[in-house]
Amino acid sequence: MRAVSDKATARFFLAIYFVKVVYKITYPNGKIYVGKDLTDTLNYFGSTDLRLIERDFPRQQRQVFKITKEIL
């Protein structure tokens, strides 16, 4: 019986420390990425593939590169 109580307590404390956030990232070319973050980290912008970013944005367009992150 005690083990169930300990698991419930552990889940409660994990829920406090890990805030689930669903976000939408919009790139300058209009492409949209929707993802989730379990830590609500401000500087997390998803798991991007560098090759895809480089292919979508030539060197000139990377001089000023603004990404919008919106919490949904």
Domain limits for position 25:
17-71
C-beta separation of 34 from 23 below 8 A: yes
* pLDDT score, position 57: 85
Global pTM value: 0.62
Distances (CA, A) of 10 to 6, 20, 64: 6, 17, 45
For residue 22, being part of any structural domain is answered with yes
Question: Residue 12: inside a domain, yes or no?
Answer: no
- Per-residue confidence (pLDDT) for residue 39, from 0 to 100: 77
Quick check: is 51 in a domain?
Answer: yes
Instruction: Tell me, yes or no, whether 29 lies in a domain.
Output: yes
pLDDT of 1 reads 46
Nearest to 34 by CA among 21, 19, 43, 23: 23
| Backbone Cα Rg of the chain | 18
The pLDDT value recorded for residue 66 is: 86
Whether residue 28 is contained in a domain is answered as: yes
Q: Considering the domain boundaries, does residue 9 fall inside one?
A: no
Per-residue pLDDT at 36: 87
- Looking at the structure of the chain, the number of domains it has is 1
Nearest to 44 by CA among 62, 67, 10: 67
Question: Tens of pLDDT along 5-60?
Answer: 677 666 666 556 667 889 998 988 888 989 888 877 777 777 778 888 888 888 88
Q: Determine, yes or no, domain membership for 6.
A: no
Domain for residue 44, yes or no? yes
